[in-house]
């Protein structure tokens, strides 16, 4: 992978076996990527990128205005999200194993007395991970059948560069832990997106044709995902 410098803008360039150039600006940090045909030399790609500078800056400004969640302190009546819904936190300190429970519009965090903010975050993250691992297999089972492919395994982790990824050779998909906070349709979109890569490796016309065929509402779900508040953590798609 090569990197082009256009003033204060860096552009990641990946050359693939594709016919056309694809330029993207990714939330939340405005990372710029270009996928270009292998036959195209770097200088030609640079000229193309320069011609699109106005559009790139416009997209980066739009992304910069996107709402961001404040850093979490895990204190009373702090807002936390689960499956797209907002819950107010209630912190219960007691000498018992840590746990998290949903009660109506409240999310109860049980921790031992004097638990640190980091410990509270770890308890929440582990609960979030468990909840996501309940939902993902259901979606994979549905979409394996619909798309005629098989996923060998999946995993959940904090990802710095994307919502999901796919190892085509091992038929394994990874999903970003942050998806647990978003509406289920956003999680479903990312699952379908990654499964589609088992049929088509690249983001080319065939890939998007597959998305249109199997998940016609994918553009709406993607837009919704990218409009929602971004975690204060420094990750990006």
Domain that holds residue 51: 2-64
Cβ contact 33:60 at 8 Å: no
Residue 138 phi, psi dihedral angles, 5° rounding:
-60, -45
Q: What distance in Å separates the CA atoms of residue 43 and residue 29, rounded to the nearest whole number?
A: 25
Q: What pLDDT is stored for residue 230 in this prediction?
A: 66
Q: Is the pTM of this model over 0.85?
A: no
Specify whether 18 is located in the same domain as 86.
Answer: no
Q: What distance in Å separates the CA atoms of residue 174 and residue 67, rounded to the nearest whole number?
A: 25
Give the E-state strand segments of the chain in sequence order: 2-6, 9-16, 22-26, 31-37, 79-82, 85-93, 99-103, 106-111, 153-157, 164-167, 172-176
Instruction: State pLDDT tens for residues 93-136.
Output: 999 999 999 999 999 999 999 999 999 999 999 999 999 999 99
Which of 41, 64, 87 delimits the end of a domain? 64
pLDDT tens-place values along the chain, 237 residues long:
899 999 999 999 999 888 889 998 887 678 899 999 999 999 999 999 999 999 999 988 887 776 677 789 999 999 999 999 999 999 999 999 999 999 999 999 999 999 999 999 999 999 999 999 999 999 999 999 999 999 999 999 988 668 999 999 999 999 999 999 999 999 999 999 999 999 999 888 999 999 999 999 999 999 999 888 766 553 333
Q: Please check whether residue 30 lies inside any domain of the structure.
A: yes
Cβ contact 175:187 at 8 Å: yes
Specify whether 122 is located in the same domain as 192.
Answer: yes
Count of structural domains, the chain: 2
Instruction: State pLDDT tens for residues 82-104.
Output: 999 999 999 999 999 999 999 99
Instruction: Report the CATH number at residue 162.
Output: 3.30.2010.10
Specify whether 21 is located in the same domain as 132.
Answer: no
């Amino acid at each position: 992978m090569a990197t082009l410098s256009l003033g204060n803008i860096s552009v990641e360039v990946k050359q693939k076996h594709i016919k056309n150039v694809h330029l993207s600006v990714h939330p939340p940090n405005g990372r710029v990527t270009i996928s270009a045909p292998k036959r195209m030399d770097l200088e030609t790609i640079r000229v193309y990128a320069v011609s699109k500078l106005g559009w790139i800056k416009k997209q980066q400004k739009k992304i910069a205005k996107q709402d961001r969640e404040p850093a979490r302190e895990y204190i009373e009546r702090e807002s936390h999200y689960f499956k797209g819904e907002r819950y107010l936190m209630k912190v219960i300190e007691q000498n018992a194993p840590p746990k998290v429970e949903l009660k109506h519009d409240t999310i109860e965090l049980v921790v031992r007395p004097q638990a640190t903010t980091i410990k509270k975050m770890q308890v929440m993250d582990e609960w979030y991970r468990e909840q996501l691992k309940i939902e993902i297999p259901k979606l994979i089972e549905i979409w394996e059948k619909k798309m005629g492919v098989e996923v060998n395994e999946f995993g959940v982790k904090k990802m710095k560069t994307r919502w999901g990824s796919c190892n085509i050779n091992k038929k394994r998909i990874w999903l970003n832990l942050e998806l647990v906070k978003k509406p289920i349709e956003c999680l479903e979109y990312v699952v379908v997106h990654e499964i589609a890569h088992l049929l088509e490796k690249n983001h080319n016309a065939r890939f998007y044709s597959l998305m249109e065929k199997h998940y016609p509402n994918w553009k709406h779900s993607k837009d919704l995902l990218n409009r929602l508040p971004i975690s204060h953590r420094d990750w990006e798609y």
